[in-house]
Amino acid sequence: MGNKQSQREVADSQVNTNILHDSPTRQGSDRELQAYISMRDQADKATEEWEKLNYDIHTLRYARREVRSRWRKILLQLGYQLEVDALLCVNRQSQFNRDQEHSNSSAELLKQLLEHTSLFPPGTGPQNRYLYIMDCLVSLDSAEDFVRLAKEKYPKK
């Protein structure tokens, strides 16, 4: 019980103290999603172009929900019932750990997830938000356990 309490305190402080500066967490599919939404908003409704853009937006959002759900399930298995939402909540103000070795470890573990699991549906790839979450998990000494569970639960097909 004491271990879960300390994990909770570290997770909460990690999330709260890292909401200070801008970081590159909104890239990749975030930009792609914004581009689709912008193009759809400019297209005439009830046209084939609008329908296709709307479908692409729906598909991208569904894939993102699926990835988030998979991460959530693993975090819950690791015992982060109370912290899961805080860990998954990444925005422009979220800040990466400045320690280079720490960052390299986070990037390497995320690369392992991409190469050895089906955590990210085909064609989506990892977003920087998941690099930030992995960075938090490295700080909490849970990142390797997360990767191990991801490999078990979502093996590469």
Instruction: Compute the distance between CA of residue 24 and CA of residue 98 in angstroms, rounded to an integer.
Output: 13
pLDDT tens string 43-56? 999 899 999 999 99
pLDDT of 149 > 90? The answer is yes
Residue 18 has pLDDT above 80, yes or no: no
Helix axes 100-116, 143-153, angle to 10 degrees: 10
Q: Does residue 27 surpass a pLDDT of 60?
A: no
Which residue type, as a one-letter code, is found at position 152? E
Residues 146 and 75: beta-carbon distance below 8 Å? yes
Over residues 114-118, mean pLDDT: 92
Sign of CA dihedral 62, 63, 69, 72: negative
What confidence tier does 99 reach under pLDDT thresholds 50, 70, 90?
low
pTM of the model: 0.71
What span, in angstroms and rounded, lies between the C-alpha atoms of 42 and 129? 28
H or E stretch at 22: none
**Residue 25: pLDDT over 80:** no
pLDDT in tens, 120-146: 887 676 677 888 899 999 989 999 999
